[in-house]
Amino acid sequence: MFKDLINTYKETLIYSLGNLGNKIVGFILIPLYTTYIPISEYGVLGLVEPVSQLLFATLSLGLNSAFMRWYSISKDEDDKKIIFFNTNLIIILSTSLFVTVFILLARKISLLILGSTEYALILRIAFVNVFFLVANPVIFSTLRIEHKALQYSLVRMGQFIITLVLNIYLIAFLKFGIIAIFISQAISSLLVFLYFLPMYLSYSRIVFRRRLIMTMLKFGLPLVPVGISNLLINMVNRYILEHYDTLGSVGLFSFAFRLSNTIKVLIIESLTLSLTPILYKKLAEKGGKRFVQKNYLYTFFVVMLFYLFSSSFVREFIYLFARNKDYYNAYLLFPILGSVSLLNSMNYFYTLLFNYARKTVTVSLITIATAFFSIGINFLLIPVFKIYGAAITNSLSALFLFFLLYSQSKKVYGLYFENRKILLMMSVGIAIVIINFAFFMELNFMNFFIKLVLCLSFPLILYKYNFYEAVEIMHIKQMVKSLFRTGK
C-alpha cells in the first residue's frame, strides 16, 4: 500500500507543478493588478466571476463527474471511446446553445447584477470563455485517468503562460483595464481547445448510445444543484456585502479570497487530480478501504502544512507584491478564508464516497441545505461585521457541510476515518496560526524567524502525541537515509 501511496503522490507532484503555473501567474499579476486596476474595479471582477462559474456549474450537467466514474472503471477500449464521444457530444451541443442565448442577453444581465449596461462586453467575453470551461475538462479528465500527468501539466503551464503574457500586454501596455483579464482567459482557453481537437478524434468512437447518456445524466444532473449551491456558499456573500458595504470591500474580499484559493488550487486540486480516478478503482477492489483512509489523513496533513505557512507569512507576501495600500488588509481575512480549504479537503473524500455509491441525490440535498444555511448567516453576520462577516460565513458553511456529509456517510459506505488524528492536526495547526497572528505579525526579521520555527515544529509536535504509526516512522527514516546517501 505504501508503494501505491508513493506513486500517487509522485503524480500529485507533477500535477502540482502544472497548477503551480496558475499560482505563479497569479503572483506575478498581483503587482500589475494592484497598480493598474482600482480596488473598486476589482470588485467588478468579483461580481462577474460568480456568474461565469454559475453557468459553468449548470451547463456542465454533472457529466464530467459521470465521465470520470464510468471511464475509470471501464476495461474495454472501445467502450471507453464510446463513453468519451457521447459525453462530449451532449456537452458541446447543449453548451453552444445556452452560451449563445446568454451572449444575446448580456446587456440585461449586466444591468441586473452591476446596475449598468456598460459591462455587457465583459459579460459576452466571459460567456464565450464559459463554453471552453465546460468543453475542456473531459479531455483533461481523460489524461488524468490515463496517467498522462506530464502532458496534462505541460498543457496547463502553456495555458498559464499565454494568460500571463496577454494580461501584461493588455493591461500594462494597452491599458485595457479589467476587461483584459477576461480577454486573456478566453483566448488561452480557445487555444487549449484547438490543441486538443486531434485528440477528440483519436479518443472517440462515433456510436450514439442513448441509454448510456441517460444513465450518465441520471448520475450527473443531481450534481448540478451541488455546483450551484457551492457557488452560493462561496460567492453570494459578495453581492450581500456590496449591498451593505461598498464595491471596494467586495474588491478587498475578492482579492483575499483569491489568495486563500492558493491552497485549493495548488494542493487540494493537485491531489484530487491524481487521486479521484485511483480512489474509484481502489474502492472497487478488496482491501481498498485502507488506501482511501490513509490518503484522507495524508491529504489533510499536506493541506494543513500549507495553510500553516501561508497564513503565517501572508502579510509579508502581500506587502511585497501589492503596489496599492488599499489591498494590504487582505492578510487579516486570509486565515479565516484559508480554513475553508482544511474543511474542503475532508469534504472531498466524503463526497467521493457518495459519488462512488451513486448517491448523488444525497450530496445534492446536503449541499442545498448548506446553501440555505449560508445565505441565512450571511444576512445575519454581514450587516454587523461587514467584510469579516463575509469571511466567517464561508468558514462556517464549510463546517456545516462537513457535519452533514459526515453524519450521512456511515449509511453509505461504512468507511471510518482517523478523526482523532485530524482533530489533533487541526488543534495544533490553528493554535500555531493564532500565536503567530497574535504576537509575531509585525514585519521584522526576528518575528519572521520565530514564525518559521513554530511552523516547522508542527510535525514534531504531532510526533510527541503519537501521531505517526511505526511503519510510517520506518519509511520516513528510510527516505531520510536515502536522501543523505544521494547527497554523498
Residue 233's identity, in one-letter code, is: I
C-alpha span between 162 and 155 (Å, rounded) = 11
Give the three cell numbers for residue 333: 481575512
Position 23 scores a pLDDT of: 54
How confident is the model over 413-424, as pLDDT tens digits? Answer: 666 678 889 999
Beta-carbon count within 10 A of 108 CB: 12
Q: What's the rounded Cα separation, in Å, for the pair 32 and 173?
A: 11
For residue 142, what is its C-alpha cell?
481523460
Q: CA 377, CA 168: separation in Å to the nearest integer? A: 39
Specify whether the CB–CB gap between 133 and 186 falls below 8 A. Answer: no
Residue 455 has which C-alpha cell? 511552523
User: Which residue matches cell numbers 490553528?
Assistant: 430
CA distance 142 to 203: 9
Model confidence at 483, pLDDT cuts 50, 70, 90, reads very low
Q: For 12-63, write each residue's pLDDT tens digit.
A: 555 555 555 555 666 667 777 878 888 777 778 878 888 888 888 888 888 8
Determine contact, residues 192/22, Cβ cutoff 8 Å. Answer: no
Residue 412 is placed in which grid cell?
A: 453509505
The domain ranges of the chain are 2-417
In this structure, of 258-272, 298-312, 425-439, the range with the lowest mean pLDDT score is: 258-272
End-to-end Cα separation, the chain, in angstroms: 30
- Residues 299-337 have pLDDT tens digits of 899 899 999 999 999 999 888 877 778 888 889 999 999
The answer to whether residue 482 scores a pLDDT higher than 90 is no
How far apart (Å, rounded) are the C-alpha atoms in residues 399 and 280? 25
Has residue 1 got a pLDDT over 70? no
CA atoms of 372 and 378, how far apart (whole Å) = 10
The pTM assigned to this predicted structure is: 0.71
Task: Give pLDDT tens digits for 158-195.
Answer: 888 899 899 999 998 888 888 999 999 999 999 999 99
What pLDDT does 420 receive? Answer: 87
In this predicted model, what pLDDT tens digit does every residue of 58-100 receive, in sequence order?
888 888 888 888 887 788 888 889 999 999 999 999 999 999 9
